[in-house]
Structure 1
Amino acid sequence: MVVTGTRTEKARDEAPVRTEVVSTEELRATGAQTLKEALANINGLQLQELHGKSGYSLVMQGLAGDQVLVLIDGLPISASTGSSVDLSQYLLSDVERVEVVKGAASAQYGSAAMGGVVNVITRRPATGVQGAIQMGVGTRGRQNDSGKRMSAAVKQLQAHVQGGTENLRGRLAYDRLSDQGFSPDPSGWTRQGDRIRREQATGRVFWQATAQTGLSAEFGRYEEHDLQRFTTFVPPVRVPQHKTEDIGRNRLALGGRHRFGQGAVLDVRGVNEDYKTHSQTLSNGVRTIDRHSQQRMNHLSLQLDLPPVQDQQWQVGADLHREALAQTQNGKSELQADGKVRRHNQELFLQGDLFLTPAWELVPGVRWQDDSDFGQHWAPKLAVRGRVWQQADDSLTLRASVGQGYRVPNLKERHYLFDHSALGYKVVGNPDLNPESSTSFQLGAVLALGRQWTVDVNAYLNRVKDLIETDRDNAREENGISVYTYDNVARARTHGVETDIVWQPDARWRIDAGLTLGRTRDLATGREIAQRPRRIARLGVDWQATETTQLTVRVRHQGSELSDTASNLRSDPWTVVDLNLQQGLTPDLSAFLRVDNLFGKQRDFSQTHQLGPISGRMVMVGLRYGFGGNE
């Protein structure tokens, strides 16, 4: 069952909006620990490094992390950089599955969903008493921070317990992930991999108040400590630097669902989130930068599913959103306006599900947004799904959609003042930016041949207007410092074809191969957009060798990509192979062996235009214990 395309449960094969899923079984099979790792093997998705820190955002169908909406149970999560969500900052012990919708096909989602939606679905508490604990230790061999091959460079702990009755039940989960950092030359000062400690704790309660009404509450706390070590060239020497960053995120979400006698369903959910960071940069032990940042986000979502009428199902809903940002460097505001900057918006949507015939389904929708700074905007959507052929277990299904995307400039792009004069540049926000808009076209087909073969082909085209970028071509000089700003610099186009083939010859084997061929173009200059590979390929092999032994192989390939439009240099293609072996020892106890980047493929750090893998080989071993019939 999937929920992201329409916010109502549908079988994935019958969903009118194409939805890709990272299942519970996939999370276990690959040993994914963060949202970034969970998404690594979705066909066509590109994980892109965040500038200046050890995190990753998502590029989807050529559109960047600012243009992809990331949700937890349908509610937004704070953008870690003030712009993009850092996918490394969400841990997975409380996650059931992750759903991905590409393109602006659904009226359910507004600003920031131009490229698509990633929705993390958490586990609902189960009845009875169940739980599990998993621990692992890993090494990067000679690249360990200590320089010792067998030192425990990576440590992982996951634990959860849940239980209760049908009417009242709860769940507690805890994750801890620590990494000592790494370097190809541990004897030097610089570390290509940061020392990081991440911790996340969540608690959930579900109360079935009446037969028609259910209430839920969730509290989450995330903490991170990050240490970077690098050098800065100050002629004639390279000066050692290090930067520390402490991050805290508090999240409170409440929800309620009521089913009326006529078949209508009202769903109300809200979230309050505070996200704080404190970073310090020291040069030769002397503090040069002391930065504090705080984001606050409030979001309320309401949806009413109306009773079905004559093969039609309609939904109406509203979203209210507020956010505020404050940031200082060395006691001085890094915003062009002193103090906090704020924005809020309200959005309404209407979406229908029309069953034209038993085989054909039409999903029209429209979304209205009124932003405190940019006024009103309408975004129509239309999707269609039809089963054009079926014989026994064989079938051919077509899907098509067209939708308008819309994104208002975030507070960073409009108000930030990044003063890196010591490095020779500044980045200044532009309060006069216009919103981005796009038109997204998707056309695909799914061919199922029994239970053994599935072939999924999808073509996409995104046309973007008023694309927001850092305008490098029109930098101005101030006292020898290059000053850049954000601007609506171009119209852009991204297009491509995504293919995915799944073969399951029997219950023991599953092979999944995917290839995406894509192109991007800045229509103002005629050049391709930087850091968008033309080719992305995935291969997954799952082998249930015995009843208690499972081997998982994941291969990821990324083709050549333009590193930077100014230099016109291209990064080389790369391929990595990951392994995960799980061995059941008793009905409740299992062991695992995980090898990331088996062949140690790693970029050449002396070539700044290379964008291949940062981390080399990592080997981890661990144990998992479950009780109470837990999976």
Structure 2
Amino acid sequence: MGPPPRARYGSGAAGGVVNIITKRPTNDWHGLLSLYTNQPESSKEGDTRRGNFSLSGPLAGDTLTMRLYGNLNRTDADSWDINSSAGTKNAAGREGVTNKDINSVFSWKMTPQQILDFEAGYSRQGNIYAGDTQNSTSNAVTKSLAQSGRETNRLYRQNYGLTHNGIWDWGQSRLGFYYEKTDNTRMNEGLSGGGEGRITNDQTFTTNRLTSYRTSGEVNVPVIWLFEQTLTVGAEWNRDELNDPSSTSLTVKDSNIAGIPGSAANRSSKNKSEISALYVEDNIEPMAGTNIIPGLRFDYLSESGSNFSPSLNLSQELGEYVKVKAGIARAFKAPNLYQTSEGYLLYSKGNGCPKDITSGGCYLVGNKNLDPEISINKEIGLEFTVDDYHASVTYFRNDYQNKIVAGDQIIGRSASGAYVLQWQNGGKALIEGIEASMAVPLMPDRLNWNTNATYMITSEQKDTGNPLSIIPKYTVNTFLDWTITSALSANVNWTLYGKQKPRTHAESRSEETKGLSGKALGAYSLVGANVNYDINKNLRLNVGISNIFDKQIYRSAEGANTYNEPGRAYYAGVTASF
């Protein structure tokens, strides 16, 4: 079973939270170097080469320690014509990517109970163009870019952080200050008409900058009052500043659109938002085997005001082998900086307009009065454990409200007759399903069988009936892990994907006019295998085959065929450590 619903994590936790914990430096020296390659059997699919390293150890006893880690990775883009046989439009394959990352953590143990961590990192990501355009409408520029394997956008990221962790007579504390700057340098794309979403000039790049400031503090205090408890109290402050001259560069013939200047020179490319928050959570153990965790979070958003997020989670042991878990939480997601920006302006000559606007063009503008998206997340499950046998089943349901969508309600008309729309809070949506897992030691310490599965009962937008996202009806992952000797092991894995249904309700004029394909993607499965061999305690080899039976899916830009499933590939890796 996964973690229960929590409200304490704030904006963006509406669909769940993944905690990323940086591995702490060690008090003795350790190092690792790993090389990996993935070579597809098809010459039209991009191959991968990757190398990463880490080094950790003391600089001054256990008082000052450090950890340095980095990564170099390149995955080539698929051939520009990989999907040429899949449909009438030549949809692009998978985009390539190059990554370069370097990160460091220095840890100063001022006293045995007081630790100060300083972290710094730099990364560069370049996207290798595969020919993707909105509506799969290519031109000479996009075709040339895809054939040449050039990068069309690059992300440069710097991050710095300072964190204090303290252990006190009354409990534990954490206080952190973080800064992040991301430059998105990309080729200019069309912002209106037939060129929308399509690269128009392969010689001109524009840089957009997002700067983020984060401060957070938290204390954990054991409390003995009626029951054993651990009280968590925290506060956060976040500020994002965006300067995006690319997305706000559109100049149109109308001089005024709902109070927004039509000339890009008269619109600001800058926007900002702030979120301040307080939260409290209490982990209560009224009796052995029982845990109750109530929580409450208050956020104040600079654009949309106050928001309360309560949560309640329960864990109860039912005898020696069975445990029941349940939880409910209200979570939210704040509008992004584009949706609230007064400088944001998008124009469609018609195809991108809502289907009920049957003629003429339309503008989409920002809306500073948007409410946050809200979700009520619920789950209940059973967990069974005896010796090395384990099984669990969980029912989950997420009810979404105030989904932020490109509006279909006309708020005015421009002098040229174009309709004016804005981002708006839309209807409701629902996701519910069942997750299950199982672990069986077929031969203890030798052969283990592990399986996890997800079955989607519902995933739909209430107002249209369209799926919230096109995903398999069910997904099953099962693995056999065989420890042959102390140095040699093998693994066989099988993944089964259920049927995927497409959107059936037209939302734009183009979809209404041309119609939506009802073509579903049928169930399919993938089988893989790999072998690991420890040459000695410092050197490990790994080889394997993915998609052994070469099941390939080609993207067709219609129906549910929205992605490429790569065919058979061979991979190998070597890891040296000390």
TM-score (ref. length: structure 1): 0.74
> What secondary structure, in the 3-state scheme, does the structure 1 residue paired with 2:42 have?
helix
The 1:123–1:457 alpha-carbon spacing in structure 2 relative to 1, beyond 3 Å, is same
Which residue of 2 is the match for residue 35 of structure 1?
Answer: none
Which residue of 1 is the match for residue 474 of structure 2?
Answer: 535
Confirm or deny that 1:558 pairs with 2:500.
no
Which residue of 1 is the match for residue 212 of structure 2?
Answer: 297
Render the CA deviation track for 1:7-64: whole Å, top value 9, x for unaligned.
xxxxxxxxxxx54xxxxxxxxxxxxxxxxxxxxxxxxxxxxxxxxxxxxxxxxxxxxx
> What secondary structure, in the 3-state scheme, does the structure 2 residue paired with 1:345 have?
strand
Which residue of 2 is the match for residue 407 of structure 1?
Answer: 333
Following TM superposition, by how much is the alpha carbon of 1:457 offset from its aligned partner in structure 2, in angstroms? 0.8
Confirm or deny that 1:370 pairs with 2:300.
yes
> What secondary structure, in the 3-state scheme, does the structure 2 residue paired with 1:603 have?
coil
Render the CA deviation track for 1:174-217: whole Å, top value 9, x for unaligned.
11111222238579998623332111111111121102211111
Give the Cα–Cα distance (whole angstroms) in 2 for the partners of residues 198 and 172 of structure 1. Answer: 17
Following TM superposition, by how much is the alpha carbon of 1:491 offset from its aligned partner in structure 2, in angstroms? 1.4
Which residue of 2 is the match for residue 442 of structure 1?
Answer: 379
> What secondary structure, in the 3-state scheme, does the structure 2 residue paired with 1:332 have?
coil
Q: Which one has the largest radius of gyration?
A: 2
Q: Pick the aligned partner of 1:324 from 230, 234, 241.
A: 241
Do the aligned residues in 1 keep the contact of 2:188 with 2:199 (CA within 8 Å)? Answer: no
Q: Pick the aligned partner of 1:587 from 532, 537, 541.
A: 537
Give the Cα–Cα distance (whole angstroms) in 2 for the partners of residues 158 and 572 of structure 1. Answer: 38
Give the Cα–Cα distance (whole angstroms) in 2 for the partners of residues 524 and 388 of structure 1. Answer: 41
Q: What letter is aligned with 1:254?
A: L
Do the aligned residues in 2 keep the contact of 1:140 with 1:182 (CA within 8 Å)? Answer: no
Give the Cα–Cα distance (whole angstroms) in 1 for the partners of residues 134 and 25 of structure 2. Answer: 53
Which residue of 2 is the match for residue 279 of structure 1?
Answer: 186
Worse overlay, 618-627 or 326-335: 326-335
Do the aligned residues in 2 keep the contact of 1:107 with 1:351 (CA within 8 Å)? Answer: no
Q: Can you give the 5+ residue segments of structure 2 that lack an aligned partner in the other structure?
A: 85-89, 146-150, 190-197, 252-259, 262-266, 353-362, 507-515
Give the Cα–Cα distance (whole angstroms) in 1 for the partners of residues 413 and 97 of structure 2. Answer: 37
Worse overlay, 457-466 or 567-576: 567-576
Do the aligned residues in 1 keep the contact of 2:135 with 2:557 (CA within 8 Å)? Answer: no
> What secondary structure, in the 3-state scheme, does the structure 1 residue paired with 2:287 have?
coil
Confirm or deny that 1:160 pairs with 2:54.
yes
The 1:622–1:402 alpha-carbon spacing in structure 2 relative to 1, beyond 3 Å, is closer
Give the Cα–Cα distance (whole angstroms) in 2 for the partners of residues 108 and 209 of structure 1. Answer: 30
Give the Cα–Cα distance (whole angstroms) in 2 for the partners of residues 232 and 529 of structure 1. Answer: 22
Do the aligned residues in 2 keep the contact of 1:279 with 1:290 (CA within 8 Å)? Answer: yes
Following TM superposition, by how much is the alpha carbon of 1:219 offset from its aligned partner in structure 2, in angstroms? 0.9
> What secondary structure, in the 3-state scheme, does the structure 2 residue paired with 1:553 have?
strand
The 1:141–1:185 alpha-carbon spacing in structure 2 relative to 1, beyond 3 Å, is farther
Give the Cα–Cα distance (whole angstroms) in 2 for the partners of residues 114 and 237 of structure 1. Answer: 36
Give the Cα–Cα distance (whole angstroms) in 2 for the partners of residues 490 and 232 of structure 1. Answer: 28
TM-score (ref. length: structure 2): 0.80
Q: Report matched runs for 1:456-467 at 5 Å.
A: 456-467=392-403
The 1:373–1:186 alpha-carbon spacing in structure 2 relative to 1, beyond 3 Å, is closer
Q: Pick the aligned partner of 2:75 from 179, 182, 186.
A: 179
Percent identity over paired residues? 18
Following TM superposition, by how much is the alpha carbon of 1:595 offset from its aligned partner in structure 2, in angstroms? 2.8
Render the CA deviation track for 1:447-498: whole Å, top value 9, x for unaligned.
11222x1111111122221122335798999989998753322112221111
The 1:615–1:347 alpha-carbon spacing in structure 2 relative to 1, beyond 3 Å, is same
Do the aligned residues in 2 keep the contact of 1:385 with 1:399 (CA within 8 Å)? Answer: yes
Which residue of 1 is the match for residue 20 of structure 2?
Answer: 120
Q: What letter is aligned with 1:215?
A: L
Following TM superposition, by how much is the alpha carbon of 1:536 offset from its aligned partner in structure 2, in angstroms? 2.0
Alpha-carbon RMSD: 3.4
Render the CA deviation track for 1:368-387: whole Å, top value 9, x for unaligned.
11111111121111111111
Which residue of 2 is the match for residue 170 of structure 1?
Answer: 66
Q: Report matched runs for 1:458-607 at 5 Å.
A: 458-471=394-407, 486-505=423-442, 506-518=444-456, 519-564=458-503, 565-566=505-506, 567=516, 569=518, 570-606=520-556
Worse overlay, 304-313 or 419-428: 419-428
Q: Can you give the 5+ residue segments of structure 1 that lack an aligned partner in the other structure?
A: 1-17, 20-100, 147-152
Which residue of 2 is the match for residue 75 of structure 1?
Answer: none
Following TM superposition, by how much is the alpha carbon of 1:541 offset from its aligned partner in structure 2, in angstroms? 2.4
The 1:480–1:118 alpha-carbon spacing in structure 2 relative to 1, beyond 3 Å, is farther
Do the aligned residues in 2 keep the contact of 1:522 with 1:529 (CA within 8 Å)? Answer: yes
Q: Report matched runs for 1:57-96 at 5 Å.
A: none
Do the aligned residues in 2 keep the contact of 1:290 with 1:329 (CA within 8 Å)? Answer: no
In the comparison of the two structures, how many residue pairs are matched?
Answer: 515
> What secondary structure, in the 3-state scheme, does the structure 2 residue paired with 1:585 have?
strand
The 1:258–1:606 alpha-carbon spacing in structure 2 relative to 1, beyond 3 Å, is closer
Following TM superposition, by how much is the alpha carbon of 1:274 offset from its aligned partner in structure 2, in angstroms? 0.8
Give the Cα–Cα distance (whole angstroms) in 2 for the partners of residues 606 and 274 of structure 1. Answer: 37
Which residue of 2 is the match for residue 387 of structure 1?
Answer: 317
Confirm or deny that 1:256 pairs with 2:206.
no
Give the Cα–Cα distance (whole angstroms) in 2 for the partners of residues 445 and 284 of structure 1. Answer: 51
Q: What letter is aligned with 1:491?
A: K
Following TM superposition, by how much is the alpha carbon of 1:612 offset from its aligned partner in structure 2, in angstroms? 4.6
Following TM superposition, by how much is the alpha carbon of 1:272 offset from its aligned partner in structure 2, in angstroms? 0.8
Do the aligned residues in 2 keep the contact of 1:144 with 1:180 (CA within 8 Å)? Answer: no
Q: Report matched runs for 1:180-329 at 5 Å.
A: 180-183=76-79, 185=81, 192-230=93-131, 239-241=140-142, 242=145, 244-261=152-169, 263-280=170-187, 286-287=201-202, 290-310=205-225, 311-329=228-246
Give the Cα–Cα distance (whole angstroms) in 1 for the partners of residues 493 and 70 of structure 2. Answer: 27
Give the Cα–Cα distance (whole angstroms) in 1 for the partners of residues 294 and 374 of structure 2. Answer: 19
Which residue of 2 is the match for residue 351 of structure 1?
Answer: 281
